[in-house]
Amino acid sequence: MTAFKTIKGVPVKTISGDRAGASFEGQLYYDSDGVGTFKFVGALAAGAWASGGALNDSREALGSAGTQTASLAFGGSSPTASANTEAYNGSSWTEVNNLNTARVRLKGLGIQTAALAMGSQEPAYTALTELWDGTNWTEVNDMNAVKSQVGTAGTTTAGLVFGGLQPPDNNTAITETWDGTSWTEVNDLNSARSGLAGAGTQTAALAIAGYFSGPTRDRVESWDGTSWTEVAEINTGRYVLAGFGSQTSALCCAGSSVPAAGTVFTEDWNGTSWTEVADMATAKNQLGGCGTTTAGISFGGRIPNNARTATTEEWTQAHAIKTIDLS
């Protein structure tokens, strides 16, 4: 419900329930729930990671899709190639129906009830794509190129994959779009890379960091639906990291800055530049992640001593809400 109340001749929005979203920042509103109070929506407070419910199956190099309160984890190494799929409800993980093909270093996109799983490196490189309908996985049309460790963005009806690793271990810049039925190759990334993160949609995406042929791991590119453009680099170069959000508001976390070593670093993208924010609790790489810059989640991965983990961490950043006494 949205209406208006008048305070000393000035109309103020009347809204049922707290509104902490960015669209309300800097606004005063009348909260009509309960006794009714006037509230001011302040700027975003500093974000932080907190522990969530652990996966049932410790694993690394897995696929992921969804949101902070409705996530999907699938495949990966546990320690052999896994087909296991788990669904998260905001507090705990439940095992659901497996992938048709067990695989490692696959990637995913979409939501908990409609997801895609693409590619793999183990037990073999593939272009395999599977579609999740909320209950079962179904094999659909393969990607045009065999690859693993791709970046992803979008949905099960309008998806995007970019970069990756092709046999016998060569980085690629290939970009493909998914229309709900088949894959189409479009314009390549400017820099071939693998183990990168992705965020956004089919027509507005980010390709974040990854493993390049050179010494750097920090390049970022922005996709406008037609071509890729290099934008500001992340502060700490890395690969096999997680990323999520949109083209103009994204988060990247963890990953390796040197071979086999995980990191705790988290960076926030505001559409122009990257800012280092609160670290994760545990250094890791090859993890899953999804969500937004105000409500994200990461799970699984490889931690120090090359151990696989089942840990889940949740990222939360909210607007400060202040109650105003106008009596």
- Please tell me the total count of domains within the chain: 2
Query: Residue 214: exposed, middle, or buried by beta-carbon count in 10 A (0-12, 13-18, 19+)?
Result: exposed
Task: Report the pLDDT value the prediction gives residue 1, as an integer from 0 to 100.
Answer: 34
3-state SS class at 273: coil
Tell me, yes or no, whether 327 lies in a domain.
no
* All residues at 6 or more sequence positions from 14 whose CB lies less than 8 Å from its CB, including other chains: 1, 2, 3, 4, 5, 29, 30, 32
Tell me, yes or no, whether 103 lies in a domain.
yes
101 and 202 assigned to the same domain: yes
21 and 112 assigned to the same domain: no
Report the distance separating Cα 200 and Cα 265, nearest Å.
21
22 and 65 assigned to the same domain: no
Domain assignment of residue 37, given as a range? 2-44
25 and 117 assigned to the same domain: no
pLDDT tens digits for range 179-204: 999 999 999 999 999 999 999 999 99
Indicate which CATH number applies to the domain containing 187: 2.120.10.80
Tell me, yes or no, whether 279 lies in a domain.
yes
Question: Tokens 């963005």 sit at which residue?
Answer: 153
Contact criterion met (CB below 8 Å) for 108 and 117: yes
- DSSP state string for 66-103: E-SSSEEEE--BSSSB---EEEE-SS-EEEEPPPSS--
pLDDT tens digits for range 142-188: 999 999 999 999 999 999 999 999 999 999 999 999 999 999 999 99
Report the distance separating Cα 185 and Cα 75, nearest Å.
25
37 and 52 assigned to the same domain: no
127 and 260 assigned to the same domain: yes
Residues 246, 273, 52, CA angle at the centre, nearest 5°?
50
Q: Is the pTM of this model over 0.85?
A: yes
108 and 26 assigned to the same domain: no
246 and 283 assigned to the same domain: yes
